[in-house]
Amino acid sequence: SQTIHQWPATLVQPVGSPLSLECTVEGTSNPNLYWYRQAAGRGLQLLFYSVGIGQISSEVPQNLSASRPQDRQFILSSKKLLLSDSGFYLCAWSVGGLARGADTQYFGPGTRLTVL
């Protein structure tokens, strides 16, 4: 069966510091991978998605970036965090090869980021 891992689970960082959140998927090959952000008490906002190694699409302009160095690894980064980057970050995967929109996304446990 497939499992998705995220770490760290919680993170408190000062404004201006760098960020690296990691997501890995087990039990599947060539998955589609997604990063979402959920601000407190609000819905989910898609940040990035990837259909393969080195292929990243950004949905919203921001000071965050994503990379996919390996097939089942997805990293969310920032060089300098802003207060507005605080939130709950969720990684998700879906079966690769399906047309976008037709896939079911499965979510990881999330990382709660607080920027002070």
What does the binding site for another protein look like in residue numbers (CB under 8 A)? Answer: 42-44, 46, 49, 59, 88, 90, 92, 99-102, 104-110, 112
Cα-Cα-Cα-Cα torsion 99, 105, 110, 113, nearest 10 degrees, comes to 40
In whole angstroms, the minimum distance from the beta carbon of 17 to another protein comes to 23
For residues 53 and 107, the answer to whether their CB atoms sit within 8 Å is: no
Kindly state the DSSP code that residue 84 receives in the 8-state scheme: G
Q: Of the two residues 14 and 101, which places its CB atom closer to another protein in the complex? A: 101
In whole angstroms, the minimum distance from the beta carbon of 103 to another protein comes to 8
11, two tokens: 């993170």
In whole angstroms, the minimum distance from the beta carbon of 77 to another protein comes to 21
Kindly state the DSSP code that residue 21 receives in the 8-state scheme: E
Q: Of the two residues 59 and 79, which places its CB atom closer to another protein in the complex? A: 59
Q: Are strands 64-70 and 73-78 parallel, antiparallel or unpaired?
A: antiparallel
Q: Of the two residues 36 and 78, which places its CB atom closer to another protein in the complex? A: 36
Type of residue numbered 53: I
Q: Of the two residues 5 and 80, which places its CB atom closer to another protein in the complex? A: 5
